[in-house]
Amino acid sequence: MTPRIATLTRKTHETSIDVRVNLDGTGQRRISTTIGFLDHMLDQLSKHSLIDLDITAKGDTHIDFHHLTEDSGWAIGTAVSKALGDRAGIVRYGHAYIPMDETLTRVALDASNRPYLIWKVNMPAPKLGDMDTELFKEWFQAFGQAAGLTLHMENLYGSNTHHIVESCFKGLAKALKTALALDPRQAGVVPSTKGVLGGSL
C-alpha cells in the first residue's frame, strides 16, 4: 500500500504553518500553534482519528486569533486531501455521536471532494480563555473546504462551551476515522458510480 502521507508549508504575511499528516497512523502528534485551546482541540483530533499530525504554526495573534485559526484548518485539510489522492478504496462516509457530560453532538461527513458545511452549533460563551468561540466555525469551514468534505455538524444539546467545542472535534475525528479508512473489498476503486469524486453532481 502506498503510504498516505502528505506535507504542506504555507507562509503568508499573516501566518507561517508547516504540517505533516499520516492517514494510516496511530494518533501520534506534535502540535504547536501558539493558541493553547486550539492545540488542545487538534490533540483530540489526532488522538481520536488515529491520524498522525505534526503542525507548527505561528501568526499575527497580536491582532487576534482569526488568521491563525482559519489558516491552520486550511493547511491541515489541504494535507489530508493531498494524502488521499484520488480517494480510491476509502469507505467515504462516516458519522459519530459524541456525548461529553451534559453535551451531545452529531457529526456526519462525506469525503466526496465536494465541500460543504452545515453548522448548527451555538456557543453559550463568547470566549474560551483568550479565544473567540466564533472562530471554531471558521476552522471547520476552512478544514472541510480544503479536505473536500461535505460536513454536517450539529450540537443537539449542551450548556458548557468547552464540552460543546471538544465534542465537535472528537466527532470530526471519529467520523474521519471511519470515512478515510480503506475498504479491503474496494481496493483501488473510487467509491462513486461516476468513477471520480468531486465536481458536479
The grid cell for 52 is: 498522525
* Residues 6+ away with beta carbon under 8 Å from 164: 103, 105, 121, 123, 124, 155, 158
Q: pLDDT band for 157, please (50, 70, 90 cuts).
A: very high
Which amino acid appears at position 25 of this protein?
A: G
Backbone angles phi, psi at 165, to 5 degrees: -65, -45
Q: Could you report the per-residue pLDDT of 102-126, keeping only the tens digit for each?
A: 999 999 999 999 999 999 999 999 9
5-186 CATH pick, 2.40.50.140, 3.40.33.10, 3.30.230.40, 3.90.1640.10? 3.30.230.40
Q: pLDDT band for 200, please (50, 70, 90 cuts).
A: very low
Which amino acid appears at position 91 of this protein?
A: V
Mean predicted lDDT score pLDDT of the chain: 95
Q: Could you report the per-residue pLDDT of 30-86, keeping only the tens digit for each?
A: 999 999 999 999 999 999 999 999 999 999 999 999 999 999 999 999 999 999 999
Of 50-54, 146-150, 178-182, 189-193, the one with minimum mean pLDDT is 189-193
With a cut of 70, say whether residue 155 has pLDDT above it. Answer: yes
- Own/partner pairs for 187-191, CB < 8 Å, 24+ apart? 187/89, 188/88, 188/89, 189/88, 189/89, 190/86, 190/87, 190/88, 191/87, 191/89, 191/90, 191/91, 191/92
Give the residue extent of every domain in the chain: 5-186
Res 198: pLDDT: 84
Q: Could you report the per-residue pLDDT of 121-140, keeping only the tens digit for each?
A: 999 999 998 999 999 999 99
Mean pLDDT of 1-26: 96
Tell me which DSSP letter residue 82 carries.
Answer: H
The grid cell for 99 is: 456525548
With a cut of 70, say whether residue 199 has pLDDT above it. Answer: no
